[in-house]
Structure 1
């Protein structure tokens, strides 16, 4: 089978198209014929490493955490999956040597999720890291809920920073599906169009609007939950708009790794800052998030594509390096790799 692999960290030129054997799934594992692989910022960052030429955690690494495909073998002790099932995958390469940038991948059954029949493979490959991160960000408020479903966030006002990004897009969709009123900040009219298409009720351009005043006009009682991509840049804004007992969920450090907070102000409002990293959050939250996200997909709440606010940029498997470069250079929307454009085609070597 064809796979993309690297044996030393560095720029995208370390990614090589190779031919590898297809292995049988072991106990507790599922083998999936990959149709679409999704690329996230963590994928190129893991490949780049701390410095070029550094050793990789395994002798050879196949990148990419997310993807979608069709089950073609099931290991001993695995229940609930059968050959031919359509699935989406997450954290495929976390603490493991092989991700989804290959024609066939074998991974623990706990990282494989049924893909509803009406959902496309491109949608399945766009879930994973973005949707699970968004779910976690929306379920850490001190007054709950810890699960999402229609009505779970009824009466809440959610502010999504960077609503045109992949996580922001998923957060808008999940929050709206769960009944929240959604405000998002963006940096251009083009991104405002995307955030609105995703389902945001209101958009605020933080570059041209008086953002805090605009948000306060929309939410006089304050923001209940913030989904934050840039805590350093937005700390002052969040302080000015957060409600009493509000929560600020930080999932990235865009704009700087350090921030300054007015401690007295946050004391007075009982504000909760919740930092979250999907890779260390634990199995139980991941499983709960995967279940809720799949329900949202089944309800039609997480569409992708430009009309839904998430443009898709696609590459063939042999152009995985270009896909990584696109994400590193800040491509708007979601970058996907078409591993097997014809889902019915056999995989050489299987």
Structure 2
């Protein structure tokens, strides 16, 4: 039973969310091929109820329903356990109408999506109704966890969202998440299809595969447009014609949720919670993000499912 230290809370975990970083940590280690700690309990995201607090934390937090992010970043014990200890600010109050399963799906994917949507030039510094009104956002890979949340947050904030997908099934998922339009990126007419939907160009691209899609970026971005890239493609190198990028004042912003500043993460968690309270961050088949559930003793299989590219969100049910 872990005990919370100063400024920390202990969460009785209900549901643990699984991300790509979890299986990658197991397979490749954390640093130079090794784990940072002799024993690691994985998973950064989750939800549950605070049952104990450390020194300096208001005891009124005990009994509070929360969603948790970044539990295992530079810490040995994450949310794939009955109890997890995290800094108090990383256990965020979960709106009463939001389920534990939904809350466990926020975490790092939602933080990354929020920061990508704020990367546009002369854009807002917070998300919310009307914050992205008049802007067109292209979400590449709209059926993934980050892409799904970017669609939802973008639509909630008033943007016209176009999602690129690999086929009809994922197109339907993106539309259920709130995308106004979908385009199959494998089509030979993908660039012209996007341009037909956004004749003046798109203002912001939320990108999972910047190296692979750079040619499309340069064709569909509006002047002063931005690519916010959160995905990695191994050791690939991004190259682009600088003359065209400079001439159109394009911006390329790279986003890794874990290494954002504490202030940026706190703003993201606040925006995410507000969107959840407004009902904008639903999960499940009807919301375009199927849920795959595993019990705690099958956590390894849950990570394997994420690594294999299962369509939707994988969670581990603790209780």
Relative to the length of structure 1, the TM-score reads 0.89
Q: CA 1:260–1:81 in structure 2 vs 1: closer, same or farther (change >3 Å)? A: farther
Secondary structure, counterpart of 1:191 in structure 2: helix
Which residue of 238, 247, 259 corresponds with 1:259? 238
Structure 2 unpaired stretches of 5+: none
- 2:297 aligned with 1:318: yes
Pick the aligned partner of 1:201 from 173, 177, 180: 180
Confirm or deny: 8 A CA contact 1:92 1:100 kept in the other structure. Answer: yes
Residue 142 (structure 1) aligns with = 121
Alpha-carbon distance in 2 for matches of 1:210, 1:69: 46
Residue range with higher mean Cα deviation, 240-249 or 140-149: 140-149
C-alpha contact (below 8 Å) 2:29/2:35 kept by paired residues: no
Q: CA RMSD in A?
A: 1.6
Q: Secondary structure at the match of 1:167?
A: helix
Instruction: Kindly state the Cα deviation for residue 209 of structure 1 after the two structures are TM-superposed.
Output: 5.1
| 2-structure distance, mates of 1:110, 1:272 | 32
Aligned match of 2:284: 305
Please state whether the residue corresponding to 1:237 is helix, strand or coil.
helix
1:177 counterpart = 2:121: no
| Native 8 Å contact 2:25 2:35 kept in 1 | no
Matched, 1:116 2:95: yes
Counterpart residue number, 2:207: 228
Match of 1:258, SS state, is: coil
1:1-350 counterparts in 2 under 5 A?
22-49=1-28, 55-79=34-58, 82-208=61-187, 210-254=189-233, 257-340=236-319
Give the Cα separation in 1 of the matches to 2:33 and 2:202: 44
CA shift in 2, pair 1:239/1:295, >3 Å: same
CA distance in 2, matches of 1:303, 1:338: 18
Shift of 1:286: 0.2
Residue 5 of structure 1 corresponds to: none
For 2:59 and 2:260, the matched residues in 1 are separated by: 24
The list of structure 1 runs, each at least 4 consecutive aligned residues, that deviate by more than 4 angstroms after superposition, is none
Distance in 1 (CA, whole Å) between partners of 2:227 and 2:59 is: 37
Q: Which runs of 5+ in 1 are unaligned?
A: 1-21, 341-350
Inter-partner Cα distance in structure 1 for 2:123 and 2:159: 13
